[in-house]
Chains A and B, each alone.
Chain A
């Protein structure tokens, strides 16, 4: 009987202590750290788009993130998530292109390099640009 007790209690203790340890991690993360980007904050940046996003519309996407930056892909996915049901393509060759920038002002060099011109500034680091006639 004692060996059964030992087996059960040791298995349960390992599981519960591990679970408690992980819970401390979860609560620590939740209360202390700040996120690189939160979805709510990212959605706020696109508030200016408001009701203009129509289903079945297609936008291009351009960002000033370095191509290999870990957040570049996540921010592109977030842009699609926020603007659904519009389709966002990772290309600057669409008629309307969403530019996601992290500097104070829109980088005109970036726009020229991609043959874009500003169409509407949404603010908070998001601008809608139009492709120059190609």
Chain B
């Protein structure tokens, strides 16, 4: 019960903040589904950062921590719920009606994902080895060690990567602290929420960009990616990282749809900062995102927006990034990257066998990725052959940003493997798919945002449309018009 209350408070803090940035009437709407999903990541990031700051300033006592979290929830709720509606109301994009079977397939994928997740965590409630030996071990130190919490980053525990940032361990330890007991339920619930949030962001943003059909199909594909659900149930930090990468790029898409609303860039910056607070790969993502955005806007001659967006991005990024930098400099242990001698790096770089092994690994993973029975790359290729690409001019900058950012991130991670990892074969076998899965939700967003429209139901001739068969966009417009008419009638 305490865990549920704690997670609800964390989510509420996130929801208050995102609602303060994008206030619209409460109730069931596409806009609020997106805010609900984004709130999971924002709340988790804010709570984890506050936990770390409280630990530094006030020590490991639970009182200061409870006050800090309580105050943040109150402030965020006050900001969020007192804000008056302004800015864009995000709604389903106009498009042809969606057949019933697409919704059913999505529901089936969601049900399978939930059963798979629950089955996996029931069998393995502590998660896979890298989860308990890295993330949960740090959480145990933070929870159990009292004043000696910095022992979690001792060089004697070099194998548990003392330089890894603390979003996930901090969040788990925070739940344990407030609940006053350790439980496996906390990391499991956090993993579940991040998976839910990832699917929520993907479906709601694609719904805004391309309509319900593309959104539901992408959501089905994500939730039916067995490796992704298995990775989530393994309780690693990769799914939270994939959430932040997806959320950042999704917000960049919305930024390009609403260029005057620079709050999208600020929230994207915050999400990118939380990515860096989740895993070291998040730092690579931050650099890749900035490079990609600059290239995209310069290439598409949108230089007027470049400065404005970069400033807002930096404003969102600065707080979490400052915490990451402080952690790296003053708290975390040394990174194994910096302990590798230059001679070894050069030897690795000049060894053609390592490059061949890497290319082989890439080809193999292209066919094995996601544990699909048929290589998903082939299935997607067939899909795009049939549906074709159709990129709207207003989405070009975002697509270029996503493409370059994801490509750069993958390239840098593969290069780091070639340069630093001794047993490259083992690394490819154990972590190659994991790296791709970090990028998978964002890749689905980009792929489906570039896909052509799906005409799945025969168009009705003009004048014969019944209200039940109106296109989604027209239904939305009619609803809004109806609301407006009712308001006018009430005023009269």
Contact = CB atoms under 8 A, between A and B. Distances in A.
A77 B133 contact: yes
Contacts of A12: 102, 105, 109, 217, 220-221, 224
A56 B221 contact: no
24 contacts: A1-B456, A8-B456, A10-B382, A11-B383, A12-B217, A14-B372, A16-B112, A18-B372, A19-B112, A19-B116, A21-B373, A22-B226, A23-B119, A23-B226, A39-B126, A39-B132, A55-B144, A55-B145, A55-B147, A55-B151, A77-B132, A78-B133, A84-B137, A84-B145
Q: Is the interface of A mostly helix, strand, loop or mixed?
A: helix
A119 interface: no
Given A4-B454, A81-B137, A22 B230 contact: yes
A17 B132 CA distance: 31
A134 interface: no
B146 A14 contact: no
Interface of B: 101-102, 105, 108-109, 112-113, 115-116, 119-120, 122-123, 126, 129, 132-133, 136-137, 140-141, 144-149, 151-152, 154, 156-157, 159-160, 213, 217, 220-221, 223-226, 229-230, 370-374, 376, 379-380, 382-383, 386-387, 454-458
Contacts, number: 144
Given A16-B224, A19-B224, A74-B129, A29 B112 contact: no
Contact of B151 (A21, A39, A56): A56
B382 A80 contact: no
A30 B119 contact: yes
Interface in A32-80: 39, 55-56, 58, 74, 77-78, 80
A85 B454 CA distance: 56
Given A16-B224, A77-B132, 9 more contacts: A4-B456, A10-B379, A10-B383, A11-B379, A14-B372, A16-B112, A23-B226, A77-B159, A87-B154
Given A4-B386, A19-B109, A22-B116, A89 B156 contact: yes
A18 B226 CA distance: 7
A80 B138 CA distance: 11
Nearest to A9: B101
The 7 nearest A-B residue pairs measured at CB:
A85-B145, A22-B226, A15-B224, A30-B123, A19-B224, A7-B386, A84-B140
Interface residues of A, number: 38
B105 A56 contact: no
Contacts of A6: 386
B193 to A, nearest CB: 20
A109 interface: no
B382 A7 contact: yes
A104 interface: no
A47 to B, nearest CB: 15
A29 B123 contact: yes
A27 B133 CA distance: 25
B163 to A, nearest CB: 17
Most A CB within 10 A of own CB, among B113, B116, B370: B116
A23 B456 contact: no
Given A7-B382, A10-B382, A26-B116, A84 B144 contact: yes
